[in-house]
Structure 1
Amino acid sequence: MARVTAAGVPEKFQSIQLQEEFDTFDCDVHMFPDLQCLKKRSKIIEIVSVKDVIFAVAQSGLCAAFSRTTNKRICFLNISPDETIRSIFYNKNDESLITVSVYASDHFSSLKCRTTPIEYIRRNQLDAGCPLFETESLKWPGFVEFIDMNCKILIYSVQESTYKVFDLKNYSLLYSICDKDIEDIKTSLSKMLLVYRRTPGHVPLKMLSIEDGKVLKSFNHSLHHNKKVDFIEQFNEKLLVKQENENLQILDMWNSDLIEVSRTEFMTPSAFIFLYEKHLFLTLRNGTVAVWNVRGELVASFEDPLLWHPDCNTNNIYITTDLDLIISYCKAEDVCRDEGEVRPCVGSINVSDILTGKCIAKICPLDPHLQIGPRKRGDADRSTIRSTIKEALENVTALFYDEDRNEIYTGNERGLVHVWSKPHISGDNLRACL
């Protein structure tokens, strides 16, 4: 548990400074003539940190790895000139990074996965990586989904109309589900929900064990005729269903107990975040965050300004492993004027308590104590920070919090990655202050 000061701010979030800046764009493009994604700057869409390595994915499909030991770029992970990396995933089971890519030679129509041990990435030995699912057809709208909470991988092959579940520990196939009538699959800690094509009066559902695919229960859920289904979600043993202009229904899939929440109290969100072990879920709607329990009761509403990105996703917010804090990029209180138009010009990084909705720490451009960390004497390997504090907090498009290093990483529209942390903190010093 982090020590909290009298002012109420956890000590690990005090004295945060802008410590480092990395650039995914390389001005020496002539050194990488085959990488088309280096032709122009592109915004950061995803950041993942593994020990002392920061990975940043740009919208152009470029993925760069940076060392926090040397504060230099290690390599680009694009191993082919026509490779566009769409997403990355850290597999802690074998300490490898999985890249999900498409290729120009394939008209960007099929997903290809590759796993590379982190240790080999550190050495810039990308040829040590291995392709995954080579025999699977992942043409659009096929997909691959990594489910970290139960060590599974779910893929969907359109050509075969088949869903397959693999073990994330060794990539072995566990079971397949072949059914053309399945419209969607929802996963949770130990269960999987199959959502079938709706009929005029109900939607057929099946609850499966995610470990072996065994059917645990088959049932129909009644629907209002001719009304659009806003969402069907699974939350542990609960089924959340909402139709247009109707109340939220929370059904216990074991005993069929039903709870209804008024449509005026619970309006359809743009996204959910499920905190399975806390039996709570977050809803995001129009940039606001609310916390609910499984009885449909509002636990907390976040008191601070709106999220910068209304349709937020897990690439631009971070929830700690203890499920107690959410770190997000929010609209700041100041505005700037541009040809008479008043608009938000810079955001802040807010740390909020999930159970109370209170903002307990903030990296804000208005903070007079927020500084650029001084360069350590004799540290010739350290990169130069060219951005100002305000520039670093403008147009943040991706965010990640490294809990081991106690560092926040943000990426922006210019393809820059910024490191926010306490001055010159090391792993040993961090453990001492928590």
Structure 2
Amino acid sequence: MILTRRKSFRYIHILEFSVYCHLLRMDSRKKIISSPRASRSRRVLAGKRACPSHSSLNCTRKLFRREISAAGNRSFNCNNAQEKFRHFQLQEEFDTYDPKGNWYLQLNFLKKRSKITEIVAAKDVVFALAQSGVCAAFSRETNKKICCLNINPDEVIRSLFYNKNNESLITVSVYAADDFSTLKCRSTPIQYIRRGQPDAGFSLFGSESLKWPGFVEFDDVNGKVLTYSAQDGIYKVFDLKNYTHLYSISDEHVSEIKISPGIMLLIYERCASHVPLKILSIEDGSVLKDFKHLLHRNKKVDFIEQFNEKLLVKQDNENLQILDVRNSQLTEVSRTEFMTPSAFIFLYENQLFLTFRNRSVVVWNFRGELVTFFEDHLLWHPDCNTNNIYITTDQDLIISYCKSLPRDKDDERVGSINISNILTGKCLAKICETDPDVKISPRRRANSSPIMSTIKEALEDVTALFYDEEKNEIYTGNRYGRVHVWSN
């Protein structure tokens, strides 16, 4: 299983009522599966500009090259990023745990304090989803809790998706009435949530049976929604703008569908020596290419991924294969150099991808060459859940919750928020407890709620992370159900 993210495409595969979701914002694509199993691996995606030619020798072109070259931009962006994240302080604290506010919830575990699993921010509203299934909305204008998004007493929310096409929040929930086995989707305009009216939304895909192992997947980059009804074995594609049904795919031999910008990859049930594949147009479902990829017999497939024209295939204890589907050119990377990662992040514009393995991150290109190591970027969570990793829209920065060197045993549970340059691997900034500049801001608003946590407690066991690029604020959630706002 794999997770992916792109500039406007986020694809996370998580199996416990899981989410295929962006980060690039990472946030552009989410897949939620009605499955009770635990997740094992993930992946992510993003992009870059080509460097101008350096062959010209005349002064005009030298000046022109110096002023607008990609290298100059990278240097400026690097310095700019360091300034943007300098002197970050703890500004606010929100608490999703509200036993009085959640009095109407019938399920006992919804009333208990639990860790934050997902954070989404849009239009000055911060949404925090707890592992218990309670989702709370907070206003950054008033710094107060607006409402709880659970509108039914037995509702457990499993995922959030912000639909920028109509400025609404889509919640994906399960219910105790059917043993939490069927996904139900609801769309609520942000304007109604800001008024404290979470019940003003409307249900989506009511005609679809999304009982396990069915799923729903939101693809922001293509503006599409993919559903799978296990009851009748039919995949359906909807328009994300108005939720109208576009076309259906009915083929019992399809084992998985992967979405890329403009296309879908249909992976069929494996044969002994090959796997049948089809590439379809995402707009109308027409077949663009139908082919077979040869496999080593009796060896399991670790992953098959499609990224633009590149097909990545890895089998157990075999080399990584990178196939250009346009001309069938094949590139192989030694299995000793490229070991199966737990997750990917693909950078489409840069034609690069990040791999995550044993808490480490490295960057590769599609020629199979190792491009970048990251310094001082040892991830805190070994499973590389992208809910605690954020990649900026320009795909030049990665913000992660990382391990920091403990001074004593008491510091072993305290990590740091690291901001690193993806193209150079350099750590540009860090929010850590040992930095004397990192403290509770003395310039907090008079109407702000009190901050109950210390800096050390706020950086302890961070379970979710989100960066609001417009407001230049980082939101982190921890195992106690609290959300902290960091900015300068």
Scaled to the shorter chain, the TM-score interval is over 0.9
Instruction: Give the aligned length.
Output: 416
Shift of 1:337: 2.3
Shift of 1:233: 0.7
- Per-residue Cα deviation, 1:147-194 (whole angstroms, up to 9, x for no partner): 111111111110111111111111111111111111111111111100
Matched residue, 1:432: none
Q: Is the aligned partner of 1:213 residue 2:279?
A: no
Matched residue, 2:166: 94
Matched residue, 2:195: 123
Matched residue, 1:50: 122
- Per-residue Cα deviation, 1:338-360 (whole angstroms, up to 9, x for no partner): 7xxxx832100000111111111
Write out aligned runs for 1:187-336 (5 A).
187-336=259-408
Match of 1:80 among 123, 133, 152: 152
Distance 1:6 1:82, change over 3 A: closer
Match of 1:395 among 453, 461, 466: 461
Q: Is the aligned partner of 1:344 residue 2:344?
A: no
Q: Which whole-Å CA distance do the structure 1 matches of 2:353 and 2:74 have between them?
A: 24
- Amino acid across the alignment from 1:383: S
Matched residue, 1:419: 485
Match of 1:355 among 416, 423, 448: 423
Distance 1:3 1:298, change over 3 A: closer
Contact 1:396 1:412 in 2 (8 A): yes
- Amino acid across the alignment from 1:205: L
- Amino acid across the alignment from 1:356: T
SS of equivalent to 2:349: helix
Instruction: Percent identity, please.
Output: 69
- Amino acid across the alignment from 1:399: L
- Amino acid across the alignment from 1:155: T
Matched residue, 2:476: 410
Write out aligned runs for 1:32-71 (5 A).
32=104, 34=106, 36-71=108-143
- Per-residue Cα deviation, 1:61-91 (whole angstroms, up to 9, x for no partner): 0000000011000000000000000000000
Contact 2:354 2:364 in 1 (8 A): yes
Matched residue, 1:386: 452
Matched residue, 1:185: 257
- Per-residue Cα deviation, 1:244-277 (whole angstroms, up to 9, x for no partner): 1110000011110000011111110011112222
Match of 2:225 among 143, 148, 153: 153
Mean alpha-carbon deviation: is it higher for 7-16 or for 141-150? 7-16
Contact 2:363 2:373 in 1 (8 A): yes
Contact 2:215 2:228 in 1 (8 A): yes
What is the CA RMSD across the aligned residues, in angstroms? 1.8
Shift of 1:210: 1.0
Write out aligned runs for 1:372-383 (5 A).
372-376=440-444, 379-383=445-449
- Amino acid across the alignment from 1:369: D
Shift of 1:200: 0.9
Contact 1:37 1:62 in 2 (8 A): no
Contact 1:25 1:38 in 2 (8 A): no
Mean alpha-carbon deviation: is it higher for 362-371 or for 299-308? 299-308
SS of equivalent to 1:119: helix
Distance 1:414 1:218, change over 3 A: same
Q: Which whole-Å CA distance do the structure 2 matches of 1:109 and 1:5 have between them?
A: 47
Contact 2:78 2:421 in 1 (8 A): no
Shift of 1:302: 1.0
Normalised by the length of structure 2, the TM-score is 0.82
Shift of 1:7: 7.6
- Amino acid across the alignment from 2:427: C
Q: Which whole-Å CA distance do the structure 2 matches of 1:283 and 1:184 have between them?
A: 22
Contact 1:5 1:11 in 2 (8 A): no
Q: Which whole-Å CA distance do the structure 2 matches of 1:335 and 1:245 have between them?
A: 40
Q: Which whole-Å CA distance do the structure 2 matches of 1:241 and 1:21 have between them?
A: 44
Contact 2:148 2:198 in 1 (8 A): no
Matched residue, 2:246: 174
Q: Which whole-Å CA distance do the structure 1 matches of 2:206 and 2:443 have between them?
A: 47
Q: Which whole-Å CA distance do the structure 1 matches of 2:204 and 2:109 have between them?
A: 23
Structure 2 stretches lacking a partner, 5+ long: 1-72
Contact 2:346 2:354 in 1 (8 A): yes
Q: Which whole-Å CA distance do the structure 2 matches of 1:58 and 1:249 have between them?
A: 39
Q: Which whole-Å CA distance do the structure 1 matches of 2:255 and 2:267 have between them?
A: 6
Structure with more of its chain in strand, by fraction:
1
